[in-house]
Amino acid sequence: MELRQLRYFVEVAEREHISEAAEHLHVAQSAISRQIANLEEELGAALFERIGRNVKLTPVGKIFLEHTITALSAIDFAAKQVEEYLDPAKGTIKIGFPTSLASYVLPTVISAFKKQYPDVSFHLRQGSYKYLIEAVKNRELNLAFLGPLPPKDEAIATTILFSENIHALLPANHPLAKRESINLLDLRNDHFVLFPEGYILHQVAIDACRSAGFFPTITSEGEDMDALKGLVAAGIGVTLLPESSLYDTSERFTVKVPVAMPVLRRTVGIISPTNRELAPSELVFLDFVASFFSRLSQFQ
């Protein structure tokens, strides 16, 4: 059984037409037909049934296709790993990230990394806090930025990059907008706009308000950072957001105000699996990110 036969088989199965598969693969139709016949002879079973000019998978063919796709994916991944070991500066890095790190932290880090490793490609996946943790555990991702970092978990390694304050974001015409800082209790009578329940920043805000002695009145929710900022700008309510997500906030419509009491902070870092090795390019990126924020903190 040859890789060529398996690739021909998958192409024909997906197109259900031998001549179209041959055209896409730039090989003769007779070559594909011969290789499929050899594969069926070796397996001792028909993989296709001919219906006019088209072909359809037999029940056995459907089973074989499922496993063939898995096997070819594993082989392609292995070849990619070998290529990266030979030259880690030319890999593809798949990274997960939450919305709170999308506007400043992620683009800043990747921009700096690309200056040093211009041939590395990125595949970015945005997701919720719980999704990103599970994605690293179940092999969908190897690296994910998170804030705050999750509790200790034997399946996950955590690397702290920095910590930051949680600020209040107020409409520009809010009575407290010109304060240098506020006590969170000062907002007890305000309407809050938050991420929906289940989002980590929703829980961060709820816990912060409870620690200040009140439960926030939530009047609106938004699943996107820009949507929340828009609700605050429209005067719908106030919110609590990490400082790094507010670097691009327009003070014409909203004002970020530090919270003096209680002091609200979160850790930001990157998680990776403990039960499998990272690809060489991923290790290079992880080391770069840790060094990048270490250097950055020296100038703050």
The predicted-structure confidence for 62-79, as pLDDT tens digits, reads as follows 999 999 998 888 888 777
The per-residue DSSP string of 211-251 comes to HHT---EEEEE-SSHHHHHHHHHTTS-BEEEEGGGGTT--T
The predicted-structure confidence for 3-16, as pLDDT tens digits, reads as follows 888 999 999 988 88
Residue 215 has pLDDT above 60, yes or no: yes
pLDDT of the residue at 84: 64
The predicted-structure confidence for 219-251, as pLDDT tens digits, reads as follows 999 888 888 999 999 999 999 999 988 886 555
Same domain, 262 and 167: yes
- Domain span at residue 70 reads 3-86
Cβ(171)–Cβ(264) below 8 Å: no
DSSP, res 176: T
- Cα–Cα dist 109/287, whole Å: 12
List phi, psi (to 5°) of 167.
Answer: -105, 160
**What is the number of domains present in the chain?**
3
CATH (domain of 54): 1.10.10.10
What confidence category does residue 89 fall into, taking pLDDT thresholds of 50, 70 and 90? low
Torsion of the alpha carbons at 233, 239, 240 and 243, rounded to the nearest 10: 0
Same domain, 172 and 148: no
CATH (domain of 192): 3.40.190.10
